[in-house]
């Protein structure tokens, strides 16, 4: 009976290590998707000049999950008139953080961007979008570095921690 428990414990810690590694590998992908969505938003604002709720709908159709879910939620909340843009933006950012591998820094960058969204003319808005993309570029480099440094370590650490604890208890 002890062996079954030991094997289950090792499998659990291994799974935790692989999940941690998966979050590290998904973070750069989600940041790239967010950058692409902001570039689409920039094009929609500057060239198509559509209202924000329509731009959010267009972006949701062109981006993969979990970013599309974020923009769908923005679109639906603005159509249902559930508050001002910044309040809706903050709630959607909090939901995005739960459903993606984005970190606290990306969340703060997007919240700062949400404060300026819809507050300026087209060219000022373009500058804010470019500034946000530059900040996300910096976070993307950091995310890539973390993935390269800690990705394999997380997997190994999960297995080794499980083995260590089992050996201590036996």
pLDDT on residue 82:
66
Q: What are the pLDDT digits (tens) for 4-32?
A: 888 889 899 999 999 998 888 899 999 99
Give ∠ CA 35-65-148 in degrees, rounded to 5.
60
Measured between alpha carbons, how far is residue 98 from residues 47, 75, 138 in Å? 32, 19, 22
pLDDT on residue 138:
93
Residues 6+ apart with CB under 8 A from 82: 88
Whole-number average pLDDT of the chain? 87
The sign one gets for the Cα dihedral 112, 88, 27, 126 is negative
Q: What is the pTM of this model?
A: 0.83
Residue of higher predicted confidence among 58 and 119? 58
* pLDDT at 41 > cutoff 70: yes
């Amino acid at each position: 009976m002890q062996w079954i428990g030991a094997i289950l414990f090792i499998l659990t810690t291994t799974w935790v290590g692989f999940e941690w590694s998966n979050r590290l590998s998904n973070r750069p992908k989600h940041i790239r998707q967010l950058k692409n969505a902001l570039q689409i938003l920039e094009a929609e604002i500057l060239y198509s000049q559509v209202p924000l709720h329509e731009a959010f709908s267009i972006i949701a159709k062109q981006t993969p999950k979990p970013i599309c879910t974020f923009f769908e939620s923005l679109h639906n909340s603005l159509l249902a008139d559930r508050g001002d843009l910044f309040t809706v933006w903050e709630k959607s950012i909090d939901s995005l953080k739960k459903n993606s591998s984005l970190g606290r820094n990306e969340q703060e960058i997007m919240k700062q961007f949400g404060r300026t969204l819809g507050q300026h003319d087209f060219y000022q808005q373009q500058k804010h979008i470019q500034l946000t993309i530059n900040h996300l570029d910096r976070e993307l480099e950091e995310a890539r570095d973390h993935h390269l440094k800690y990705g394999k370590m997380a997997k190994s650490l999960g297995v080794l921690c499980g083995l260590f604890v089992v050996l201590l208890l036996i």
